[in-house]
Amino acid sequence: MLALSRKKNEAIIISNNVEVTILEVKGDQVKIGITAPKDVPIYRKEVYLQIQEANKDAVNADGMEALRNLLR
């Protein structure tokens, strides 16, 4: 993990096309802005993990259904 210090209105660039800017620092919260191409998905980590779990469940359900069909 790369750890960086940034102040309000400072930014970092990721992969030439994603810019993360510190918009506000208030207590223990930091508000960030992200500028990225529309084809780059951006999720909060907890949402991303829920999507991954749902995808895994869907694959497992589809796989079980395919296995049941083979056994019939």
CA distances from 69 to 28, 61, 62 (A): 53, 12, 11
Between 61 and 45, the more confident residue is 45
Mean model confidence pLDDT for the chain: 89
Q: What is the mean pLDDT of residues 13-34?
A: 96
Spatial separation of the C-alpha atoms in residues 60 and 64, rounded to whole Å: 6
Does the pLDDT at position 30 exceed 70? yes
- DSSP state at residue 41: -
Q: Is 19 helix (H, G, I), strand (E, B) or coil?
A: strand
